[in-house]
């Protein structure tokens, strides 16, 4: 297995895991927030399910543009997805598009520099692995919410 295939495998598995975790929640608790400034499991799934729709074109172009209006529009559009089935369908479709792209990349391209609106140096490897990292991070957040719901 080369680096590209490993990344695809891990990303696909992580998307399966985050939704397996979310399906353990009582449906009426997906939008529960542990505090006034906290995010619910639903909001975190909305991010994971829609982020690639926003970022994949920029990842492919190796130049991501971002501004406050684009962020506000994304927040508004992702809030419309509220069912686990729709969220999972969106996440899996965009994940497939990402992994199809990763499979076409020569391994040497993973080291290419990308233009980002954020500080720091970003390579193609950083951008194509972000979905895996983001889903892993949010799975942990969702697990913590579940722990708190159980009285932890």
* Tens digit of each residue's pLDDT, the chain (152 residues): 899 999 999 999 999 999 999 999 998 999 999 999 999 999 999 999 999 998 899 889 998 888 899 889 988 999 999 999 999 999 999 999 999 999 999 989 999 999 888 888 999 999 999 999 999 999 999 999 999 998 76
What's the CATH code of the domain at 105?
1.20.120.450
**What is the tally of structural domains in the chain?**
1
Domain hosting residue 128, numbered range: 3-149
pTM score, two decimals?
Answer: 0.91
**Integer Cα distance of 9 and 11 in angstroms:** 6
């Amino acid at each position: 297995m080369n680096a590209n295939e490993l990344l695809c495998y891990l990303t696909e598995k992580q998307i399966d895991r985050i939704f397996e975790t979310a399906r353990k929640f009582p449906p009426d608790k997906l939008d529960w927030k542990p505090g006034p400034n906290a995010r619910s499991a639903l909001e975190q799934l909305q991010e994971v399910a829609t982020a690639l729709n926003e970022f994949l074109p920029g990842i492919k172009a190796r130049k991501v543009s971002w501004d406050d209006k684009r962020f506000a529009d994304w927040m508004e559009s992702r809030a419309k997805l509220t069912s686990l089935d729709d969220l999972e369908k969106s996440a899996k479709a965009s994940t497939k598009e990402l992994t199809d792209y990763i499979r076409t990349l020569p391994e040497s391209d993973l080291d290419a520099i990308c233009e980002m609106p954020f500080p720091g140096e970003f390579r193609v490897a950083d951008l194509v692995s972000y979905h895996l990292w983001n889903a892993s991070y949010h799975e942990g957040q969702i697990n913590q919410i579940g722990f708190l719901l159980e009285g932890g």
